[in-house]
Structure 1
Amino acid sequence: MRTATPQMARAINDRLALDLLLEHGALTAPQLRALTGLSRPTVSDLIERLRTNGLIEVVGESGEDRRGPNARLYGIVAERAHVAGVDIRLDTVTVTVADITGRPVGSAKRDIEAEPPAGDRPSGRSGDHLVTLIADTVAEAAGPRSMHTVVLGAPGLVDPHSGELASDNGVPGWRPNLLQALRRRIDAPLTLENDVNLAAVAEHRAGSARGREDFVLLWLDKGVGAGITLGGRLRRGASGGAGEIAPLGLSRGSFCGLLGTEAVRELDRDSLAARIAQVAFTAVAVLDPGLVVLGGETGRTGGEALASRVGEYLAALSPIPTQVRASTVEGDAVLHGALFTALSAAQREVFGGVPG
C-alpha cells in the first residue's frame, strides 16, 4: 500500500486551506486549524508557503475577544489570475470576467448583427465579423486585465477531438475553425462548450442539483436539449452528442417547435407539463438519473408549479422514482457555467493539481 509522500501531503494541505479560503473568505490561523484539523506547526508552515508563493496575503486582523494582539486574517490574492465566461446566443454575446476567487470584476454585452455582404467587408476581414465581435467584447469586459482562461458557451454539438462545432449552430457569422481564429485574437487558453452543458454545470454548482451526483438538466428554451451529469461528472459522449435529444423527433412539430414562441405560453399548464414529461421520460428510462431539472426560459418561468405537475405526469409514464425541480440558478445559467468551468481550470493550475 502506497502512502503519501511529504511533498504530496503538503500539496493536499495547501489545497485544502485554499479551498476553505474560497468557501469562507478570510480566515485566521486558529480558524484554519479548527477547520482543517491540522496542527499549529503544519498550519504555520502552509501559511508561510502560500504567502511565499503569492497565493495568500494578510488582509486584516480579527477582532476576537481575547487577550494579546489580534490574529491576522489571511485571504487569497484575488488578482493572481482572471478568467472570462462567454455566452454566445443567436443574437448576443455576453461576457463576465472574474478574479480567481470568483468575484466578478468586469462585464460586457453586444448584439450580433448579420454578416455584411462580401463587398462591404473591410479588406482582409472576410467572414471574421463574429470573431472580431467576440474578441472585442472579451477585451471590453477584461479592461487592462490579462486572462488566464476563457470558456465560451454556444449552441450546437462540440466535437471533443477538435474542440470546434461539429455543425452549423445558426449564430450569424459562425464558420468552421472559428475557435482557431479566436485564438489568434485572444491571448489566453480558449475552450468551447455546448451551452446546455454549461447550464448543467451551473445547476450542479449553484442550483437545484447542488449536492447531487446524478441528474439531467432538461433545457426548454428556443429548442430542447439536455445536460447529463452522472457520478458527479458532466457526460458529453464519444462524439459530444450526449443530451442532443431534439433530433429524436419527440413531439416534433408540436412541443419542440413551440419552444421559444408565444404559442408555448398559450398552452395550459397540464398540456405543457404532459409534453415535457414525454421528453423527460426518454432520459429517465435510459439513464435513471433520479433528478430532472427544468431549465431555460420555459423551465424558469414555470417554476416549481410546472415542475410538480411534470413530476406527476412522469410518474404515470415511468416506474423509476424521479424528482423534478425547476432551475434555481439566478441570471444567465450558461454564463455562470462558463465562469465555473474557467475558474476550475485556473484554480487547478494556479493552486496546484491536487483536487480540493
Structure 2
Amino acid sequence: MKTATPAMARAINDRLALDLLLERGPLSAPQLRTLTGLSRPTVSDLIERLTEGGLIAAAGESGEDRRGPNARLYGLVADRAHVAGVDLRRESVAVTVADLTGRIVGSATKAVGGDLVDLVAAALAEAAGGRPLDTVVVGAPGLVAPRDGELVSSNDVPGWRPGLVASWRERLGVPVILENEVNLAAIAELSTGAAQGAEDFVLIWLGDGVGAAIVLGGRLRRGMSGGAGEIGFLEVDGIAFCNLVTKAVADGLDRAELAGRVAKGAFAFVTLLDPGLVVLGGEIGQEGGDGLAGEVAARLRELAPAPAEVRASTVAGNAVLQGAVLTALTLARDHVFSRVA
C-alpha cells in the first residue's frame, strides 16, 4: 500500500475543509475540527494555508460564548473564480455566470444569428460584466464525441460548424466544454430536481426537441461515441419516436394518447437498463406534471417486466443552464482548489 506523502495529506485535508465550507457556509476552527476529525494544529495550519492562498477569508464571528481566534468564522472567497453556463439553441443563446460558491452574478440572452464564436463571446462578456472566467460549459443539441469534445455531426443550430469548440477556446482563452443539452438537464435533475437521491434514473426530454439522458451509479453515461440516450431515433410502431412526441405533435393529443406514446419510448430504457426511475423533462414533461407522469407509469406497468417510478421534472427555470453551471463549478473547483497544497 502506498503511504500518503505530507503534501498529499495536506491536499486531502484542504479539500475536505473547502468542501465543508461550500456545503455549510462559514465555519469556525472548532467546527472544522469537529466535522473533519482533524487535530487543532492541523486545522490551524490548513486555515493559515488556505487564507494565504486566497481561498478562504475571515467572515465574522460565531455566537459562541468563548471569544478569540477559535470563534472567528471562515468562509470561501466567492470571487476567487467565476464560471459560465451556456444554453445554445436554434433561436437563442442564454448565459449564466456564477461565482465559486454557485451564486448567480450575471446573465444574458441573445438571438442566434451571425458567427457563433462572436455571438457566444458577446453573450459571455455581457453576463460576466468584466469578471474573468475560469471555465465555460456549453449545452447544445447533438452527439458530443468524448475524444475531442466536438459534435459527431452538425445539429440544427444556425451557423454551427466543425471545430467550433476549439474556436471558442482560442477566442476566450479558458477551458470550454461542450455537452449535450439533455445530459446537462439530467445533472440539474440529479442535483436539485426530481432525481435527488437517486443513483439510477433516465431523463426523457420532451419538447421542441426530443432526447434522453442516462444516469447509472450516480454518474452520467455518455456512451463510447456520445450517443447514449438518443431516443429520438428509436422507432415506435414504425415511426421515429421524435416524430411522435414533439411539442407540435403533443399539443394535438389528449393526455392518454400522449402517455401511451411516451411509455413506449420509456419501455426501451426500463427493459434494457432497469433504472427504477424515469423523469419526464422539457416543456411537455413539466407542463404535464404529476398527471402525465402517473399515466405514463400506469402504461409502463402494463408493458415492462421491471418496476419503474415516473416523475415530472421539478427543476425550476432552465435545467440546461443549471446543469451547465453545476458542471462548470465542479471543474473550476477542482482546478482552483488544487492550487493550494
The one-letter code of the counterpart of 1:244 is: E
Report what 2:130 is aligned to: 144
Would the alpha carbon gap of residues 76 and 157 (structure 1) be closer, same or farther in structure 2, given more than 3 Å must change? same
TM-score when normalising by structure 2? 0.94
Contact 2:233 2:241 in 1 (8 A): no
The one-letter code of the counterpart of 2:89 is: R
**1:141 and 1:26 mapped to 2: Cα distance?**
27
**2:247 and 2:201 mapped to 1: Cα distance?**
27
Contact 1:108 1:138 in 2 (8 A): yes
The one-letter code of the counterpart of 1:348 is: D
**1:341 and 1:215 mapped to 2: Cα distance?**
18
**1:311 partnered with 2:297:** yes
The one-letter code of the counterpart of 2:169 is: R
**Cα distance, 1:39 vs structure 2:** 2.5
**1:159 and 1:255 mapped to 2: Cα distance?**
23
Contact 2:244 2:261 in 1 (8 A): no
1:251-307 Cα offsets, whole Å, 9 max, x none, are: 565863254434413322221111111100001111111111111111111112211
**1:4 and 1:252 mapped to 2: Cα distance?**
59
Q: Secondary structure at the match of 1:257?
A: helix
**Cα distance, 1:135 vs structure 2:** 1.0
Report what 1:174 is aligned to: 160
**2:201 and 2:67 mapped to 1: Cα distance?**
51
**1:226 partnered with 2:212:** yes
Report what 1:16 is aligned to: 16
Report what 1:84 is aligned to: 84
**2:237 and 2:287 mapped to 1: Cα distance?**
21
**Cα distance, 1:353 vs structure 2:** 9.1
Aligned residues: 339
Q: Secondary structure at the match of 1:135?
A: helix
Greater shift in the superposed pair: 154-163 or 265-274: 265-274
Identity of aligned residues (%): 62
**1:87 and 1:249 mapped to 2: Cα distance?**
28
Q: Secondary structure at the match of 1:74?
A: strand
TM-score when normalising by structure 1? 0.90
**1:260 and 1:150 mapped to 2: Cα distance?**
30
**1:276 and 1:228 mapped to 2: Cα distance?**
16
**Cα distance, 1:249 vs structure 2:** 2.0
Contact 1:147 1:187 in 2 (8 A): no
**2:165 and 2:17 mapped to 1: Cα distance?**
36
Report what 2:50 is aligned to: 50
The one-letter code of the counterpart of 2:99 is: D
**1:246 partnered with 2:249:** no
Mapping of residues 74-153 of structure 1, within 5 Å: 74-113=74-113, 115=114, 129-153=115-139
| Moved >3 Å (runs of 4+) | 1-6, 67-70, 251-255, 258-263
The one-letter code of the counterpart of 1:148 is: D
Report what 1:37 is aligned to: 37
Would the alpha carbon gap of residues 251 and 89 (structure 1) be closer, same or farther in structure 2, given more than 3 Å must change? farther
Would the alpha carbon gap of residues 54 and 162 (structure 1) be closer, same or farther in structure 2, given more than 3 Å must change? same
